[in-house]
Amino acid sequence: MSADNLTLDDVIELMMQEVPRPTATTARDWGDRYPVYRDQIADFVAEWLFQEGMTEKAALIDESALLNSATEHLNRVLQGELDERFPGVLAAAERIGLDTASLGERMGANEYFIEMIDRRAVSLESVPGAFLSALSEELRCSVRSIARWMTGGAGEPSFGVAVGQDEADSKSFAQAWREAGLSQEALRRWSCK
């Protein structure tokens, strides 16, 4: 079967046979190999990484908060305020009137750390789910849209680094946190939530 005749399901099946645990690099490489399915491959890998990162604790759902969040989301969709493509951390913050310092403060981080996230210099696989959830709440977007963006899907980083940064160049969340000069205690709080 030629590459032109492959369906998305065929491509995903081939990818999973070759790479049993996909990463952001996998999404970029396979998106380059099959550009017609680039966004769908990025979505698949982001969803895979998102679900893989969920813990048993995540299964405990606050139904009231979920209902409120769904209602707010529906209102934004109906008002046309929801953009399907995540524009990058700094652009999303700017869109709602937050500068880098304010977002950093709200996230218990600093400007340097937020810029590293925006540059996609931090591997998605290492970012605690609690941090992604808090970031999505602050930026008023979905965790999945941020995860998809971090794997090289839609949007460009606001701070000026090319999409799909090589995984070898990216840092773990903990490495980036330390490099930004943030406290170990705060890092443990994100890791334990």
Query: What span, in angstroms and rounded, lies between the C-alpha atoms of 88 and 110?
Result: 17
% the chain with pLDDT above 70: 77
Q: Is the pLDDT of residue 164 over 80?
A: no
Q: What is the pLDDT of residue 49?
A: 82
Residue 181: strand, helix, or coil: coil
Q: What is the pLDDT of residue 61?
A: 61
Q: Is the pLDDT of residue 104 over 80?
A: yes
What is the band of 170 on the pLDDT scale with cuts at 50, 70, 90? confident
The helix or strand, by DSSP H or E, that contains position 12, with its residue range, turns out to be: helix 8-18
Q: What is the pLDDT of residue 50?
A: 78
- Per residue in 108-121, pLDDT tens? 999 999 999 999 99
Q: What is the pLDDT of residue 118?
A: 93
Length of the chain measured in residues? 193
Q: Is the pLDDT of residue 163 over 70?
A: no
Token pair for 36: 């017609």
Could you tell me which residue, 160 or 76, shows the higher pLDDT?
Answer: 76
Residue 153: strand, helix, or coil: coil
Q: What is the pLDDT of residue 62?
A: 66
For the whole model, what pTM was predicted? 0.57
Query: What span, in angstroms and rounded, lies between the C-alpha atoms of 126 and 88?
Result: 18
Mean pLDDT of the chain: 80
Q: Is the pLDDT of residue 158 over 70?
A: no
- Per residue in 41-88, pLDDT tens? 988 888 888 777 765 455 556 677 777 777 776 666 655 444 457 889
What is the band of 165 on the pLDDT scale with cuts at 50, 70, 90? very low
Residue 88's region, left for phi above 0, alpha for psi from -120 to 50, else beta, is left
Write phi, then psi, for 93 (nearest 5 degrees): -65, -45
What is the band of 155 on the pLDDT scale with cuts at 50, 70, 90? very low
Report the 10 Å Cβ neighbour count for 91. Answer: 16
Residue 171: strand, helix, or coil: strand
Of 100, 109, 99, nearest to 131 by C-alpha is 109
